[in-house]
Amino acid sequence: MSDLIDRSALPTIRLEIHERIDDKTRLILEALSQGVKHVIDSAPRVDAVPVVRCERCRAWGKSPFGNVEGAGWCILVSEHTRPDFYCAYGVKLERKEVNADERDSSE
């Protein structure tokens, strides 16, 4: 399995490191980071998109057909799915919706 990275986060990481060091070390790290940047930029890219797992999807919840152990009901595909399943139709819950769902399940 390929590891995916957020290439856009790398310049931010470099800036945070550079703010805490002296000039000589900064020059050495800058040269090194240019080499690392070249390696990362030339690495093959994967065709990937973010997914929404069922347990964090707006369309997933309690089954209208009774409890099915380890599964919930998806209104988009009209079937039971496991919490770690995902599909192309998933819509991520907003933070406030997640907190409300946690309160509902604890009652």
Condensed to tens digits (0 to 9), the pLDDT of residues 40-78 reads: 888 887 787 788 999 999 999 988 888 788 899 999 999
- Give the mean model confidence (pLDDT) for residues 16-23: 70
Does the structure show a pLDDT above 70 at 11?
no
- Give the mean model confidence (pLDDT) for residues 86-106: 68
pTM for this structure?
0.52
Percent of the chain with pLDDT over 90: 21
- Give the mean model confidence (pLDDT) for residues 22-36: 82
Q: Round to whole Å and give the CA distance between 36 and 58.
A: 40
Does the structure show a pLDDT above 80 at 105?
no
